[in-house]
Amino acid sequence: MLAVLSPGQGSQKPGFLTPWLDLAGAEARLRWWSALAGVDLAHLGTKADADEIKDTARTQPLLVAAALLAAEHLPMYDVSVTAGHSVGELGAATLAGVLPAEAAITLAGVRGREMAAACALEQTGMAAVLGGDSDEVLAALDTHGLHPANRNGAGQIVAAGSLDALDKLAAEPPAKSRVIRLKVAGAFHTPYMAPAEAALAAVAAGITTADPRRILLSNLDGAAVNHGRETVQRLVRQVTSPVRWDLCMRTLADLGVTGVIELPPAGTLAGLVKRELKKTGVPEIVSLNTPDDLPAARDLIARHSGLRGHEPVIQFRVVVSPVAGTFEPDAELAEGADLRTGQVIGHIATRQGSVEVTAHDSGLLTEWLAHHDDPVAPGQPLARIGGHA
């Protein structure tokens, strides 16, 4: 099984899009997307310096555009899983079939501008806490009134909040940890971004969505998302919510992902996956940074695609598990039953309680793919919905 990952802010490098503009149609595509985003994406990806592409309002649509531009040259129909880090979730949602590319670029432009504006309201920042015991690190952040904005796994938690509180954390770091201030405009993924969340929600309410055609993992909790509208709601909430990339990587391991492609500008997520999954088995990874890497990426897809083997095909009308746990189908539902959109078809028993599983479309329950008391992982197919008789 293969996953395609879309990176987030901080991964950009000056000139990283330059070789992609040599591909047919790429420059025209960026001109169109630039009109939607309100920034010159071609300039930002080729001629802009590090300071210019550090600007949140410019960086966010640039990263989404880069991921989508590169993915157009991959056989995505053979990809089983998509996930993105922070703003990279917009790219991942597009690759999963939830959003049109134009909607993702537009939302990235709004998100970037509004988060930059929110950063200007108060003097805030972020710092990476490397190493240490995670519980002790989280306790230290709470003591200083800071937020765990990113939990990236591999011994990395990003703290966010007031500059004074970050200074105090750096002066008194948790045991066996290092605190490194990050060159960012403010405290992303915290309540400080509430104005940006409200502005993004107002625009996102008008977006037309579809349900995912492949497994799409959410930064909110690492779970697979079944419904298009829920995906957008989660994307909006993520502006003020922590990025749980650690849980996304845990789900990749639970799904048995054997191959990973990171879209440009690649490297950051690949490094986290290598460090975090070394105990359970590191998947084969291709960092797709230039068109010269496309043959290796296509070869990886051909060899690791779960869609050509014996694993279930994750398509539009397959209901998948949102969490890990034990499946309990509705005892009143038998194969052949007529389902309506939103109908509860079962529950997942987890340590935190019971989680409902609902039909994302109307139709016939043509086949149970999991049964009573079956252990299931996030993204595992549970039932197949067919057309009406």
Give the predicted TM-score (pTM) of the model.
0.81
Question: 38: buried, middle or exposed (CB in 10 Å: 19+, 13-18, 0-12)?
Answer: middle
User: Six-digit token pair at 167?
Assistant: 């200074």
Q: Dig out the tokens for 135 from the structure.
A: 């519980």
The candidate with the shortest Cα–Cα distance to 237, out of 213, 216, 214, 221, is 221
Both tokens of residue 317? 């009308």
CA-CA distance, 13 to 56, in Å (whole number)? 14
Given 86, 177, 287, 321, which residue is catalytic?
A: 86
**Who contacts 312 (Cβ-Cβ below 8 Å, separation ≥6)?**
318, 369, 381
pLDDT of residue 387: 61
CA 317 to chain centroid, in Å, comes to 22
Sign of the alpha-carbon torsion through 97, 102, 105, 111:
negative
147-153 and 156-162: which strand pairing?
antiparallel
Question: Which pair of structure tokens corresponds to residue 31?
Answer: 């001109």
pLDDT score recorded for residue 278: 85
Amino acid identity at 338: D
- Mean pLDDT, the chain cut into blocks of 10 residues (389 residues total): 95 96 92 96 96 95 97 91 97 96 97 97 96 95 96 93 96 95 93 97 94 92 90 96 95 91 96 89 94 95 66 53 89 90 91 87 84 85 71
Based on the number of CB atoms within 10 Å of its own CB, is 311 exposed (0-12), middle (13-18) or buried (19 or more)? middle
Domains of the chain: 2-118+191-304 (3.40.366.10), 121-182 (3.30.70.250), 318-386 (2.40.50.100)
Measure Cα distances from 382 to 113, 186, 312, 373 in Å.
40, 41, 10, 12
Contacts by 72-78, CB closer than 8 A, 24 or more apart: 72/29, 73/23, 73/291, 73/294, 74/4, 74/261, 74/294, 74/297, 74/298, 74/301, 75/298, 75/301, 75/302, 76/4, 77/307, 78/2, 78/301, 78/302, 78/305, 78/307, 78/308
- Is 287 marked active-site? no
Q: Which of 147, 189, 304, 360 is catalytic?
A: 189
- Cα 299 from chain centre: 24
Q: Cα(382)–Cα(343) distance, rounded to whole angstroms?
A: 14
Structure tokens at 47: 């001629």
Which residues does 105 contact at the CB level (< 8 Å), separation at least 6?
A: 33, 36, 37, 61, 64, 65, 68
Q: How far apart are CA 128 and CA 157, in angstroms?
A: 6
| Cβ–Cβ under 8 Å, residues 341 and 361 | yes
Residue in 318, 363, 112, 96 with CA at minimum distance from that of residue 209: 96
Which tokens in the block code for residue 322?
Answer: 């949102």
Structure tokens at 382: 């549970």
Per-residue pLDDT at 319: 81
